[in-house]
């Protein structure tokens, strides 16, 4: 039987940016989906990386008195180290200054040029230095663009407009391409206007830090045309056809601000290359602070490392995945973080572990008791537990990560209630067998929850399974074995006490 494959990418982040919670979010999301697909037995290729060309990099390097390459080499580890800290299980980390990428970008430019889809013309227009692209009069009037100047120069253009109708037809016949649905509609709306051609070069006299255009050495490649190609250069396009056909097409996870570049520029580039379009382009919302977007200039950027230091990696991963309804914006506040940590992780999940292991320790010498002749209440938990995997699977395959987590937490909460009702600590005094049965059912539900939370909290969930002696007990009900000795442990999620001062 051939295995299913799952190829997932994050955007490649600007090497100049200090990594923040927005970057961490997409990367953790890709990691959770990757880990889940691996648990399903699928073959997974998870790609992330860095976008290293363009004006801002050139300027920042100059300011530091470094060559742009030395500047990039110096900054790149800020991202790769963060991914290690965040337990990101990526299979590759591509940097657009690597030869394996630059060579392919040049091959592609030549190919598209030879095909007649790239031409040169003189162009006069308004250019936003901050955005590194030409903008329309209307965009300039909106005031949303900084450092706008009028520029007249010869450039190379990609015949994007030529593919407009084909793209509209494709989007309409492939509703899964752009998700969530409101983003698809936004793009179809955008495509109601005539689609112009895309300027894909910059004269070296203005910007030298880029990939040289192979058919005109006075120019470098526009940074987006270069960057988008990472999704295929990393998996062997033009260098390893077997690898490429193994993985392409895949799923691109992106933020909503880069939807147009992905669903219009990238798709039409793929049309020109006669390659299949991505399976899915999924745009998530923004993390906001209060009502505003996080940004360096506002000075409200949340640094993931600060949170990790205080509360641990898995708590941060859990919060980001549980709090954001995928596709919508979410509000980040430290208060929110603490509230969710205390309620979900300390009170519900952590507390259930403490309770069952404490009671099994006290009444059964730490050995998991057997469960026979289940009562109605036991059976209710058992059926909820047995159905959990199917529900979580369906939700995750539909990119509803927050809902999947909530489903797991619903089981945990139901088990905590069940424990209150059954009170095995009281039962133990009159009917030890019944108390054992309740503790088995509760512990097994906890085990299943932990097994499914592994994708979200790799370290803590694995620790729970280790404590329960059930690392490889599967995803169906009954994996926990009676007779297993539980490991002693300290609380996994100590409550965060808020200093009222």
Task: Please tell me the distance from the alpha carbon of residue 151 to that of residue 206, in angstroms, as a whole number.
Answer: 11
Residue 22 in contact with ligand MSP, rule: CB under 6 A: yes
Return all residues near 350 (Cβ < 8 A) that are at least 6 apart.
491, 492, 493, 494
CB nearer ligand MSP, residue 23 or residue 460: 23
CB nearer ligand MSP, residue 70 or residue 298: 298
Question: Which residue of 5, 17, 100, 139 would you call a contact of ligand MSP, by CB under 6 A?
Answer: 17
Nearest distance, CB of residue 132 and ligand MSP, angstroms = 10
Question: Which residue of 108, 187, 195, 228 would you call a contact of ligand MSP, by CB under 6 A?
Answer: 228
Q: What is the dihedral of CA 97, 100, 105, 108, to 10 degrees?
A: 180
DSSP state of 299: T
Task: Please tell me the distance from the alpha carbon of residue 181 to that of residue 204, in angstroms, as a whole number.
Answer: 41
CB nearer ligand MSP, residue 83 or residue 287: 287
| Token representation of residue 443 | 């512990």
Question: 43 has which bridge partners?
Answer: 5
Q: Where are the beta strands (DSSP E) in 78-208?
A: 92-95, 118-128, 133-135, 148-158, 178-179, 198-199, 201-203
Question: Which residue of 6, 7, 11, 360 would you call a contact of ligand MSP, by CB under 6 A?
Answer: 11
Residue 117 in contact with ligand MSP, rule: CB under 6 A: no
CB nearer ligand MSP, residue 74 or residue 431: 74
Site size with ligand MSP, rule: CB under 6 A: 21
CB nearer ligand MSP, residue 17 or residue 216: 17
Residue 286 in contact with ligand MSP, rule: CB under 6 A: yes
Residue 294 in contact with ligand MSP, rule: CB under 6 A: yes
Residue 45 in contact with ligand MSP, rule: CB under 6 A: no
CB nearer ligand MSP, residue 153 or residue 186: 186
CB nearer ligand MSP, residue 294 or residue 482: 294
Nearest distance, CB of residue 294 and ligand MSP, angstroms = 4
CA 232 to chain centre: 18
Residue 465 in contact with ligand MSP, rule: CB under 6 A: no
Question: Which residue of 254, 307, 308, 492 would you call a contact of ligand MSP, by CB under 6 A?
Answer: 254
Nearest distance, CB of residue 253 and ligand MSP, angstroms = 8
Residue 227 in contact with ligand MSP, rule: CB under 6 A: yes
Residue 265 in contact with ligand MSP, rule: CB under 6 A: no
Nearest distance, CB of residue 124 and ligand MSP, angstroms = 27
Nearest distance, CB of residue 72 and ligand MSP, angstroms = 13
Task: Please tell me the distance from the alpha carbon of residue 122 to that of residue 137, in angstroms, as a whole number.
Answer: 18
483 burial via Cβ count (<10 Å: 0-12, 13-18, 19+):
exposed
Q: Kindly state the helix (H) or strand (E) to which residue 220 belongs, with its residue range.
A: strand 216-221
Residue 14 in contact with ligand MSP, rule: CB under 6 A: yes
Rg (CA), the chain: 26
Nearest residue relative to ligand MSP (C-beta): 255
Nearest distance, CB of residue 238 and ligand MSP, angstroms = 17
Nearest distance, CB of residue 11 and ligand MSP, angstroms = 4
Q: Are 302 and 287 in contact (CB under 8 A)?
A: yes
Residue 51 in contact with ligand MSP, rule: CB under 6 A: yes
Backbone region of residue 99 per phi and psi (left: phi > 0; alpha: psi in -120 to 50; beta: other values): alpha
Q: Are 99 and 107 in contact (CB under 8 A)?
A: no
Question: Which residue of 12, 28, 199, 442 would you call a contact of ligand MSP, by CB under 6 A?
Answer: 12
Residue 225 in contact with ligand MSP, rule: CB under 6 A: no
Cα four-point dihedral sign 271, 282, 397, 95: positive
Selected range binding ligand MSP among 137-145, 287-295, 345-353, 354-362, rule: CB under 6 A: 287-295
Nearest distance, CB of residue 286 and ligand MSP, angstroms = 4
H helix intervals, 156-240: 164-173, 181-190, 223-228, 230-233
Residue 388 in contact with ligand MSP, rule: CB under 6 A: no
- What are the Cα distances from residue 212, in Å, to 13, 68, 392? 21, 15, 47
CB nearer ligand MSP, residue 132 or residue 153: 132
Nearest distance, CB of residue 38 and ligand MSP, angstroms = 24
Closest CA to 388 of 442, 451, 454: 451
Task: Please tell me the distance from the alpha carbon of residue 340 to that of residue 346, in angstroms, as a whole number.
Answer: 9
- SS3 (DSSP) at 140: helix
Chain residues that interact with ligand MSP, rule: CB under 6 A: 11-14, 17, 22-23, 25-26, 51, 227-228, 230, 254-255, 257-258, 286-287, 293-294
């Amino acid at each position: 039987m051939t295995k299913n494959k799952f190829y997932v990418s994050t955007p490649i982040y600007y090497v100049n940016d200090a990594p923040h919670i927005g970057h961490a979010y997409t990367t953790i999301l890709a990691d959770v989906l990757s880990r889940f697909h691996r648990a399903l037995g699928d073959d997974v290729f998870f790609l992330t990386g860095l976008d290293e060309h363009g004006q801002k990099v050139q300027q920042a390097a100059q300011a530091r008195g470094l060559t742009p390459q030395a500047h990039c080499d110096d900054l790149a580890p800020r991202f790769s180290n963060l991914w290690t800290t965040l337990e990101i299980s990526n299979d590759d980390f591509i940097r657009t200054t690597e030869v394996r990428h630059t060579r392919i970008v040049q091959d592609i430019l030549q190919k598209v040029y030879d095909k007649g889809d790239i031409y040169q013309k003189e162009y006069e227009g308004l250019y936003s230095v901050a955005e590194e692209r030409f903008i329309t009069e209307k965009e300039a009037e909106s005031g949303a663009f900084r450092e706008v100047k009028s520029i007249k120069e010869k450039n190379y253009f990609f015949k994007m407009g030529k593919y407009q109708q084909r793209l509209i037809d494709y989007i309409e016949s492939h509703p899964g391409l752009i998700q969530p649905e409101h983003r698809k509609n936004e793009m179809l709306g955008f495509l109601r206007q005539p689609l112009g051609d895309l300027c894909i070069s910059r004269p070296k006299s203005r910007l030298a830090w880029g990939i040289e255009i192979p058919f005109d050495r006075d120019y470098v490649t526009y940074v987006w045309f270069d960057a988008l190609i990472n999704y295929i250069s990393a998996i062997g396009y033009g260098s390893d056809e077997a690898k490429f056909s193994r993985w392409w097409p895949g799923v691109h996870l992106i933020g909503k601000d880069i939807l147009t570049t992905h669903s219009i520029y990238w798709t039409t580039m793929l049309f020109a290359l006669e390659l299949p379009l991505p399976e899915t382009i999924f745009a998530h919302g923004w993390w906001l602070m209060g009502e505003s977007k996080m940004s360096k200039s506002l000075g409200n950027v949340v640094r993931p490392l600060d949170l990790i230091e205080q509360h641990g990696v898995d708590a941060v991963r859990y919060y980001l995945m549980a709090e954001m309804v995928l596709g919508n914006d979410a509000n980040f506040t430290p208060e929110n973080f603490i509230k969710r940590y205390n309620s979900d992780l300390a009170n519900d999940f952590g507390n259930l572990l403490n309770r069952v292991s404490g009671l099994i320790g006290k009444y059964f010498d730490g050995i998991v008791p057997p469960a026979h002749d289940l009562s109605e209440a036991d059976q209710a938990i058992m059926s909820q537990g047995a159905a959990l995997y199917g529900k979580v699977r369906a939700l995750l395959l539909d990119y509803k990560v927050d809902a999947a987590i909530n489903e797991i937490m619903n089981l945990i909460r139901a088990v905590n209630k069940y424990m209150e009702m059954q009170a095995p600590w009281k039962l133990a005094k009159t009917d030890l067998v019944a108390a054992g049965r309740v503790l088995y059912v509760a512990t097994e539900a906890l085990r299943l929850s932990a097994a499914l939370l592994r994708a979200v909290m790799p370290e803590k969930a694995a620790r729970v399974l280790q404590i329960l002696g059930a690392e490889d007990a599967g995803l169906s009900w009954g994996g926990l074995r009676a007779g297993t000795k539980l490991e002693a442990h300290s609380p996994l999620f100590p409550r965060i006490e808020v200093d009222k001062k």
